[in-house]
Amino acid sequence: MKILIAVDGSVYTKHMLAYIAAHDEFLGTGHQYTVLNVSAALPPRATAIFDRETLKNYHDDECERVFKPIRTFFKKQGIDAEFLTKIGTAGDVIARTADSGKYDLLIMGSHGHSALGNLVMGSVTNRVIAHCKTPVLLVR
């Protein structure tokens, strides 16, 4: 199975990884894993000041901060994974990546906001579900 795992480094990512570790059906050599972190685009005024290499290094550093403990998790599990970084609006990028990569399953943690919280703050999870054709496993 080709599995995309969307991560943001939050406590919800840790809950999701713990869930995966506790369910043997998600681990094993029969699966291909890609771990995705989406970095928010910087405002145009900020990007106008810095050259492309500096911006790329900034985004790479931010994503590596998120990836470091996840690399350790996969290493402890004895599983190889590809790590992918993208820039943009998280919900849109995750859904597009899942669909264009022809993944069999997308796994992600959910913050579990209330309906009012989603209305006020928006929700990456809602956006992914609304735009993604790939099956999604949400872990709260």
Task: Judge if pTM exceeds 0.85.
Answer: yes
Neighbours of 130 (CB within 10 A): 11
* DSSP structure class, residue 41: P
Segment holding 60, helix H or strand E: helix 52-77
Helix (H, G, I), strand (E, B) or coil at 99: helix
Q: What is the distance of C-alpha 57 from the center of its chain?
A: 19
Tell me the pLDDT tens digit for each residue of 38-95.
999 888 887 888 888 988 899 999 999 999 999 999 999 888 899 999 999 999 999 9
